[in-house]
A and B are shown apart, each in its own frame.
Chain A
Amino acid sequence: MPNDAIISLQDVTFAYEGDVVALRNLNLTVRKGEFVVVLGANGAGKSTLCYLLSGIAPHIYGGRRLGLVSVAGLDPWDEPLYVTSQRCGVLMQDPEVQLFMPTLRTELAFGPANLGVDRDEIAKRSRAALGLVRLEGLEEHNPRDLSGGQKQRAALAAVLAMSPQVLVLDEPTSQLDPLGRWEVVEAIERLKQQGDLTIVMTTHETEEILRLADQVLVLDRGETVLQGGPAEVFTQAGRLEDAGVKTPALIMIQSKLVQPGGPTALATNDQRVNVTLSGVAAQAREAVEAGRLFVCSQAVPRPRSIAADRPIILEARDLTVQYPGPPPVVALRSVNVQVRQGEFVGIVGQNGSGKSTLVKCFVGLLRPKQGEVLFNGESIRKLSVGEIARRVGLVLQNPDYQLFTTYCHEEIRFGLRNVGVPEEEIEQRVEEALRLVGLSEEAELFPFRLSFGDRRKLAVAATMALDPRVLIMDEPTTAQDHRGRYQLADLARRFHEEKQGTVLMITHDVDLIARYAHRLIVLYDGRVLLDGPTAEVFTQVEELEKSFVVPPVAAQLAAELAPLGVPPTVMTLDELNRVLVPHRDGDGEEVA
Chain B
Amino acid sequence: MEPIFRYTHLDTPIHRLHPLVKMGYVMLTLVLVMYPIRETDMPILLIWLGFSAVLWAVARIELRRFVTLLKILTGTFVFLILIQGLTYRGGDTPLIVLGHLKLWEADLGVITKEGTWFGLVLCVRILVATSSLPLFVMTTPTSAIMTAMGKLRIPQTVTFMFVSALSFTTLIFEMWGSIVDAQKLRAFDIDSMNVFKRAFKAYVPIITPLILLLFRKANDFQIAMETKGFGAPVKPTEIETLRARPADYVWLALIVIVFVACTVLKFAR
A residues sitting closer than 8 Å to B (CB atoms) are 54-56, 59-60, 80-82, 85-86, 89-90, 92, 94, 96-98, 100-103, 106, 109-119, 122, 140, 142, 144, 158-159, 162, 326, 360, 363, 365, 384-387, 389-390, 393-394, 396, 398, 400-404, 414-415, 418-419, 448, 462-463, 466
Contact = CB atoms under 8 A, between A and B. Distances in A.
Given A60-B223, A82-B226, A116 B236 contact: yes
25 contacts: A59-B226, A81-B229, A92-B224, A94-B220, A97-B220, A100-B221, A101-B143, A102-B142, A103-B9, A103-B143, A106-B142, A106-B239, A106-B240, A110-B230, A110-B239, A115-B236, A118-B237, A122-B237, A365-B184, A386-B188, A389-B187, A401-B213, A415-B187, A418-B187, A463-B185
B231 interface: yes
B164 interface: yes
Nearest to A386: B187
Nearest to B218: A97
Closest 10 CB pairs of A and B: A386-B187, A415-B186, A111-B228, A418-B187, A404-B208, A114-B229, A82-B232, A402-B182, A116-B234, A97-B220
B167 interface: yes
Interface string B173-201: 00100110111111111001000000000
Chain B CB within 10 Å, residue with most, of A96, A102, A403: A102
Contacts of A385: 184-185, 187, 189
B77 to A, nearest CB: 26
A102 B9 contact: yes
Contact of A116 (B178, B185, B231, B235): B235
A116 B224 CA distance: 18
B157 interface: no
Interface string B62-75: 10000000000000
B24 interface: no
A86 B229 contact: yes
A155 to B, nearest CB: 8
Given A82-B230, A401-B175, A365 B220 contact: no
Contacts of B171: 96-97
Interface string B160-174: 000110010011000
Nearest to B166: A100
B141 interface: yes
Given A82-B230, A97-B220, A448 B212 contact: yes
B226 A81 contact: yes
Most chain-A CB neighbours within 10 Å: which of B186, B225, B226, B227? B227
B238 interface: yes
B237 A54 contact: no
Interface residues of B, number: 53
A389 B187 CA distance: 7
A466 B237 CA distance: 57
A112 B170 CA distance: 25
Contact of A384 (B192, B208, B217, B231): B192
A401 B182 contact: yes
Provide the main secondary structure of the chain B interface.
helix
Contact of A89 (B213, B226, B227): B227
A160 to B, nearest CB: 12
Contacts of A110: 143, 228, 230, 239
Contact of A115 (B185, B192, B234): B234
A113 B236 contact: yes
B185 A389 contact: yes
Contacts of A82: 226, 229-232
Contacts of B188: 386, 414-415, 418
Contacts of A102: 7, 9, 141-143
B12 interface: no
A402 B183 CA distance: 6
Given A113-B237, A384-B189, A401-B209, A97 B179 contact: no
Contacts of B62: 326
A102 B237 CA distance: 17
Nearest to B143: A106
Nearest to B206: A404
Given A82-B230, A113-B239, A389-B186, A400 B220 contact: no
A140 B8 CA distance: 12
Given A113-B237, A114-B230, A394 B143 contact: no
Interface string B244-266: 00000000000000000000000
B205 interface: yes
Most buried by A among B188, B192, B238, B239: B239
A54 B227 contact: yes
B184 A158 contact: no
Given A103-B9, A404-B205, A56 B227 contact: yes
B179 A402 contact: yes
B9 A140 contact: yes
B167 A100 contact: yes
Contact of A404 (B9, B209, B216, B236): B209
A112 B237 contact: yes
A34 to B, nearest CB: 22
Contacts of A466: 186-187
Contacts of A394: 185
B93 interface: no
Contacts of A113: 236-239
Given A89-B227, A415-B188, 17 more contacts: A60-B226, A81-B226, A82-B231, A100-B142, A100-B167, A100-B224, A114-B232, A116-B237, A159-B227, A385-B189, A386-B184, A387-B187, A396-B185, A400-B213, A418-B186, A419-B187, A463-B186
A242 to B, nearest CB: 31
A60 B227 CA distance: 10
A55 B226 CA distance: 10
A119 B237 contact: yes
B7 to A, nearest CB: 5
B219 interface: yes
B222 interface: yes
B181 A414 contact: no
B78 interface: no
